[in-house]
A and B are shown apart, each in its own frame.
Chain A
Amino acid sequence: MSALAVEAKRLSVGYEELDEVLWAVRRATLGVRAGEAFCLVGESGSGKSTVASAIVGILPPHAVTDGELRVDGKLVVKGNERSYEGVRGRVVTYVPQSPGASLNPYLEIGDQFYHVLNSLYGLNRREALEKARAYLGMAGLDPEAVLDRYPHELSGGMQQRAAIALALSTGAKILVADEPTSSLDAHLRLQIVELLRRLRAEAGLTLIFITHDMLLAGALSERIAIMYAGSLVEQGPTGEVLRKPLHPYTSMLIESVPVLGAKRPLKPYAGEPPNPGELGGGCPFYDRCPSRLQVCASEPPVMKEVGDSHYVACWLY
C-alpha cells in the first residue's frame, strides 16, 4: 500500500440537473495516510458524503467529476473519467449511515455474506459462512445467534455491527464509514466507536469517518478535515485543529457544539450554509464570516500550510 491510502487533487464532484451542473464538492485537495483514522466533518449539504461516495466508487451515473482521485495509489478519477475496477469492494469498503436500509431485508445475515463474498471472490457457501463467523465475532456479535436472522430481527446496534462485519469481510483495508452512528442511541454510539477503534488496530485499517459530530471526530480520529458548502476549509492533526482552529468556520463549529459538563454559552452565528447553486465566486463562508476581508467576496481562498501539516483555506492566513 502507498503512503497515502487516499489522495485527492483539486477534486470536484457535481450532479447534472437539467442543463446545468450543481457542484457539491469544489476543488478538494486532501491526503489520508495508510493506517490512520481520518475524519471528514461537515454539516448537511457540505459535500462530505459526496466525497465518501467518490472514494468508495458509488457516485451515481449523473455525477460529473473533475480533478484527480487516487485510492491505494490507483487513479480512480481523472477529469470526468472514473474507473474503480479492482478497488471498489476489494480495497475500499463502505459502511452506510442507516444499517437498517443498507442490509438486504429479504436475506438472512449469513446469505448476505455469501452473496458478497461469492460475487467478489467466488467463495462457496461453506467458505463464506466461515469467514462470516470470524468477522461477526470480531464485531462483537455471537455468529450463531445472528447468521440465520433477518436484519429486522436485530436491534439497531446489532444491525450496524453486522454491516461493519460485512464490509470488513471483503478484506478491504480502507473503510469509509458515513455517519455510522447517527441513527443510534448514545450508548450504542459509544459501543460502535469503540468497535471501530479496536477493529482499526486489529485489522490495520485506514478508517475514513464521515460525520457532522465534532465530539465523535475528536474521539476517533488522528487527523481531521472540515468541509463547508462543498469546499475543504481546514485540515490537520485533530487535537491541533480542535484546540487552535484557524478557519472562522471551524471556530464556529467548536463554539456551537454543546459539551456535557462544560456549560459555556453557545455562540450563535447568523445565517445558514448556502445551497450549492447559490454560491458566488468568493469564499463560501463570506456571508457568515465575522472576520471577512474585502478580497473574500471575489476570490476563493486556496488551501495553504500554516503549521506542521495544518492547512487552512482562508485569506486571513
Chain B
Amino acid sequence: MSHAGSTDWAIELRNVSAGYTVAEGFKAIRKRYVEVLHDVSFRVGRGERVAVIGESGSGKTTLLRVMLGLLQPLKGDVMVLGQRIYAMPSRERWKITSRIGYVPQDPFRSLNPRLRVADIVAEPLTRLGLSESEKLQRLRAALRMVQLHESVLEHYPSRLSGGMMQRVLIARAVVHEPEILLLDEPTSALDVSTQAQVVNLLNSIQERLGCTMVTVTHDLPLAQYLADRAVILYKGVVVEEGALDEIVRNPKSEHAKLLIASYALGASGVVSPLSSSAAK
C-alpha cells in the first residue's frame, strides 16, 4: 500500500476512530477498548491556523496523540504532510512526525528539571547530525524567536518563571523549524497578563516560519487570536467546522451554541463595556 496521500494538506484525518485499551476487574484480567474519537474527519491546509476546540473529555488529547504519531487509530487514515503515517514502519513515521513541533500544556511539568535550558531546547536537533557550531546557531536563533536572552541557556528550569518556561517550550518546538506546530492549551497555565505575550509570540513565529499551526484548546475566546478556522469537538465527534468568526457569529450545532452562550457571561457584566471599547 502506498504511503502517499494528497500533498495539499498538512494534516488530513479520514474517518478516524481511536481510543485506549483499559484493564478492568480483579488483577485487571478483563480488557476493554474505550473509543474516544468517533469517525473524525477534517483537513488542515499548509500554512493554515486552525483551532480544535473542546471541553474536558471531548477527545482533544487523544486527537493530539493521533496527529503526533503516538497513538495508532482503531480505524481510519491519518495523513501528515501527505503521508499515511500509520501505514509505515515507526522508523519511517518518525521522519515525518519530526517535522512537527509540539508545545505541551503545562510548562511546570514538561521541562526536565535535571537538564539545562540549552539541552532541553536542543533535544529535537539530536538526530539531525548537526555540528556543535550549527547547533549553537540554531539554539540562538530559537531563543531570539521567543525573545529570551542567551544567558538563559545555562539555567535550570527551576530558575525560570512560568512565562519563561513556556517560551523555552516554544523554543524547543521551533528550533528545528518545523512545518507544523501543534499547541496543546498553550497558555492555560499562564496568567492573563503573560498570556498576551505568548499569543503574540506564537503568531509572529507562525508568520515567520510560514508553518501550519494547530491549537488544541477549551478556550474559545483565546482561539480567536490563534486561529482563523475551527473544528469543534464534542464527546469525540466533530460537531462543527468552519471559519472561527462565522462560528462565533452564527453557530450551527447545539454544542457550539451552548459554548458561545457560556462565554457571553453577562448582560450586566464586563462583556458589553469591553466589546464597546474594542469597537472604538
Contact = CB atoms under 8 A, between A and B. Distances in A.
A190 B261 contact: yes
Contact of A262 (B199, B249, B275): B275
Given A190-B261, A261-B248, A266-B225, A185 B56 contact: yes
Interface string B257-275: 0111111111011110111
Interface in A254-269: 254-264, 266-269
Contact of A43 (B193, B197, B249, B262): B193
B263 A186 contact: yes
A273 B273 contact: no
Contact of B265 (A219, A255, A268, A273): A219
Given A187-B259, A189-B262, A219-B269, A257 B220 contact: no
B22 interface: no
Interface string A130-150: 000000000000000000000
Nearest to B198: A268
B98 interface: no
A242 B270 contact: yes
Given A186-B218, A218-B271, A263-B245, A43 B278 contact: no
Contact of A185 (B55, B195, B225): B55
B196 A267 contact: yes
Nearest to B264: A260
B192 interface: yes
B192 A253 contact: yes
B273 A242 contact: yes
A270 B259 CA distance: 32
Contact of A261 (B268, B270, B275): B275
Interface residues of A, number: 42
Contacts of B164: 272
Contacts of A261: 248-249, 264, 275
Contacts, number: 131
Contacts of B275: 259, 261-262
B269 A215 contact: yes
A214 interface: yes
Given A185-B218, A239-B273, A260 B193 contact: no
Given A259-B274, A259-B278, A262-B278, A253 B193 contact: yes
B268 A219 contact: yes
B41 interface: no
Interface in B199-245: 199-200, 218-222, 224-225, 245
Given A44-B191, A266-B225, 9 more contacts: A190-B261, A212-B191, A218-B265, A261-B248, A264-B278, A266-B195, A266-B200, A268-B200, A270-B197
Across chains A and B, which 7 residue pairs bring their CB atoms closest together, nearest first? A218-B270, A219-B269, A219-B266, A219-B265, A262-B278, A186-B262, A43-B191
